[in-house]
């Protein structure tokens, strides 16, 4: 499962020399990035590194000040914004479920905006509840009655509802407890495989990046400082800071392994 996709035809998402500043603060400076079919790309970085801004440029929640964003070869600036977003799934840490709509209505939002028939909307909601492992009884409940993990499952289902090819995820599991985070992460990775999605996920959790990504790009101060498969990142980071970043999970794993060894001794 090595994922770097150069040479696999046309990139699905292509950012070329994009820049975005907030006043005098430059969040993203002259970044180039391509995401390939079926790729799971993780953007890793500290808070303030510009990773969220870079992600939001893809669905124009943050339009770039300069540079181009292409989806399947077409510049996003030429498409009506809301049309663009209806075809790109978007999941973020604070979930943002509509509190006045039931679980089913939340999931059905984008298909209804696209004018699907009620029949196909209903079938799609049932299908998605099963897909994200939520019982069908959840459908008529309001978000306030759900746990944090259940809410983000609904968030993922809502993003997938209109069968997008691309999923953008901004620290989607960051607010969840470690057990839920791990299971949701791996369940989502399976969905990504099964549905042949292109996923761009932002996180500051190195271990999560290593476990989920086909390819990791590391951002610092608005620029990409490293890019490679998890394997390359662990074994051959060219950048000293990236090496330090990758050493941390390695050290933790070594210590855990030592503990396991100790426990096995009689």
Partner 1 sequence: MNDRFANAWALLPGYLSQHVVLSAAAMALGLVVSLALVVAAVRSARVRWPVLAFASLIQTVPSLALLALFYPLLLALSGLADGVFGVGFSALGFLPSLLALALYSMLPVIRNGVAGILNIDPAVIEAARGVGMTDWQRLWRVELPLAAPLLMAGIRTAAVWVIGTATLSTPVGQVSLGNYIFSGLQLQDWVSVLFGCIAAAVLALVVDQLLGVIETGLARRSRPRVAAGVAALAVGIAVAALPLGRGAAASYVVGGKNFSEQFILVDLMTARIAEAGGAAVQRTGLGSAVVFAALASGDIDVYVDYSGTLWANVMRRTDVPRREPMLEELRAWLAEEHGVVMLGSLGFENAYGLAMRRDRAEQLGIATIADLAAHASELSMGGDLEFFSRPEWAALRSAYGLAFASRREFEPTFMYRAVEGGEVDVISAFTSDGRIAANDLLVLADPAGAILPYDAIVLIARKRANDDVLRRALAPLIGAIPLALMQEANYRVDRERDKETPAATARWLENEIAARGN
Per-residue contact string for residues 59-78; x = within reach of partner 1 by CB under 8 A = x-x-----------------
Question: Given candidates 4, 26, 79, 113, which one binds partner 1 under the rule CB under 8 A?
Answer: 113
- Which of 86, 192, 215, 220 is close enough to bind partner 1 by CB under 8 A? 86
Q: Are strands 166-170 and 198-203 parallel, antiparallel or unpaired?
A: parallel
CB within 8 A of 133, min separation 6: which ones? 153, 187
Q: Say how many C-beta atoms besides its own lie within 10 A of residue 78's C-beta.
A: 8
Q: Could you tell me if 102 and 136 are in contact, meaning their C-beta atoms sit under 8 angstroms apart?
A: no
Q: Which of 37, 96, 174, 249 is in the footprint of partner 1 by CB under 8 A?
A: 96
74 in Cβ contact with 46 (< 8 Å): no
For position 103 contacting partner 1 by CB under 8 A, the verdict is: no
φ, ψ (nearest 5 deg) of residue 94 = -85, 10
For position 85 contacting partner 1 by CB under 8 A, the verdict is yes
Choose between 13 and 226: whose C-beta lies nearer to partner 1.
13
Query: Cβ 112 to partner 1, closest distance in Å?
Result: 9
Q: What is the DSSP letter of 265?
A: -
Q: What is the DSSP annotation of 2-29?
A: ----TTSSS-SEEEEEEEEEETTEEEEE
53 binds partner 1 (CB under 8 A): no
What strands lie across the sheet with 40-45, from one edge to the other? 88-92, 166-170, 198-203, 40-45, 215-220, 223-228
Q: Smallest distance, Å, CB 196 to partner 1?
A: 22
Number of residues that bind partner 1 (CB under 8 A): 23
Q: Nearest approach, Cβ of 88 to partner 1 (angstroms)?
A: 8
Which span (21-29, 109-117, 207-215, 240-248) binds partner 1, by CB under 8 A?
109-117
Can you tell me the distance from the alpha carbon of 232 to that of 175, in angstroms, rounded to the nearest whole number? 28
Q: Is 175 in the site for partner 1 (CB under 8 A)?
A: no
Q: What residues from 195 to 254 belong to the interface with partner 1 (CB under 8 A)?
A: none
Region near partner 1 per CB under 8 A, out of 10-18, 23-31, 68-76, 84-92: 84-92
Which residues make up the interface to partner 1 (CB under 8 A)?
A: 59, 61, 82-87, 90, 92, 94-100, 109-110, 113, 142, 158-159
């Amino acid at each position: 499962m090595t994922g770097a996709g150069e040479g696999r035809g046309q990139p699905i998402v292509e950012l070329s020399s994009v820049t975005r500043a907030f006043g005098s603060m430059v969040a993203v400076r002259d970044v180039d990035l391509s995401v390939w079919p079926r790729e799971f790309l993780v953007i890793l970085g500290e808070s303030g590194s510009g990773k969220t801004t870079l992600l939001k440029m893809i669905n124009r929640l943050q339009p770039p000040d300069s540079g181009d964003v292409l989806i399947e070869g077409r510049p996003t600036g030429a498409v009506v914004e809301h049309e663009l977003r209806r075809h790109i799934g978007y999941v973020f840490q604070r979930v943002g479920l509509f509190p006045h709509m039931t679980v089913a209505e939340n999931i059905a939002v984008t298909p209804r905006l696209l004018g699907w028939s009620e029949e196909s909307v209903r079938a799609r909601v049932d299908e998605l509840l099963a897909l994200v492992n939520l019982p069908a009884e959840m459908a008529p409940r309001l978000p306030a009655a759900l746990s944090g993990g259940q809410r983000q499952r609904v968030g993922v289902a809502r993003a997938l509802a209109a069968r997008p090819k691309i999923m953008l995820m901004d620290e989607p599991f960051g607010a969840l407890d470690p057990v839920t985070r791990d299971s949701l992460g791996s369940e989502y990775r399976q969905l990504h495989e099964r549905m042949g999605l292109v996923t761009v996920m932002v996180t500051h959790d190195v271990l999560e990046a290593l476990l989920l990504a086909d390819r990791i790009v590391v951002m610092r101060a608005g620029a990409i400082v490293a890019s490679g498969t998890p394997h390359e990142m662990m074994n051959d980071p060219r950048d000293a800071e990236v090496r330090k970043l990758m050493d941390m999970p390695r050290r933790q794993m070594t210590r855990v392994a030592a503990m396991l060894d100790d426990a096995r001794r009689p």
